[in-house]
Structure 1
């Protein structure tokens, strides 16, 4: 497999997540990723991007237009997804996810997506650069 890099620009709206997932699944099909790799990366992108679209931007903001980019870099041995947005600073890697509970009735919403991401990904990194959130998700790939 040769190195490749693709990038997608998105608007912070209801179509961002399905558009990004369709884009990633097309790359996975073209690159012939194993089903577990495709599932894990799709799940992680869905979780991270849903949070960005839902919480990163103030609906009344008029100064900077909300902007989101997703890039996928495939190199021998690893697939790297990078999600960038110019929304509110938020580090999903800070802190621990909520404790697991014995039954669903005890579960509270929030934080469980990070647990799933940590399960599937080999690396999950965050940094804030020049007003942009940058979340890097890496999965090793045979």
Structure 2
């Protein structure tokens, strides 16, 4: 792990067992950089959704790596979590929002990852560069 004043980086294996380690890292690093707890929780939800989508749909398998980078700009009151993987290209910012089910019978499991990402972030950015999906999740908070 490489840590500097305003950012931290962690590499995790593309496997479900690494979700817990990634979440612990996020909570520790964001907390150390004075990100409010409720915004850490938002980032955590996005981290879990993004990693679950990578593990379920990207075609990656261990020993493939997922790179996590947290950048905090205290004066701007924002944090950006970037998740990079070498799986099949997929841009969640362009994904259609699924139609809300009208009845309980119409409800299907899954398919809400993009909705969760959009709902818990203030901004989503995506780029595919050098064979890597790079999803950046931004959260912002008000002055205390």
TM-score range, shorter chain: 0.7 to 0.9
Q: CA RMSD in A?
A: 2.0
1-structure distance, mates of 2:28, 2:133: 25
1:80 counterpart residue number: 80
Q: Assess, with a 3 A threshold, how the Cα gap between structure 1 residues 105 and 22 changes in structure 2: closer, same or farther.
A: farther
Q: Assess, with a 3 A threshold, how the Cα gap between structure 1 residues 94 and 110 changes in structure 2: closer, same or farther.
A: farther
1-structure distance, mates of 2:104, 2:46: 22
Shift of 1:103: 3.8
Normalization by structure 1: what TM-score? 0.85
1:41 counterpart residue number: 43
Q: Assess, with a 3 A threshold, how the Cα gap between structure 1 residues 16 and 104 changes in structure 2: closer, same or farther.
A: farther
Normalization by structure 2: what TM-score? 0.84
Paired residues in the alignment total 136
Shift of 1:105: 3.1
For structure 2, the residue ranges without an aligned partner over 5 or more in a row are none
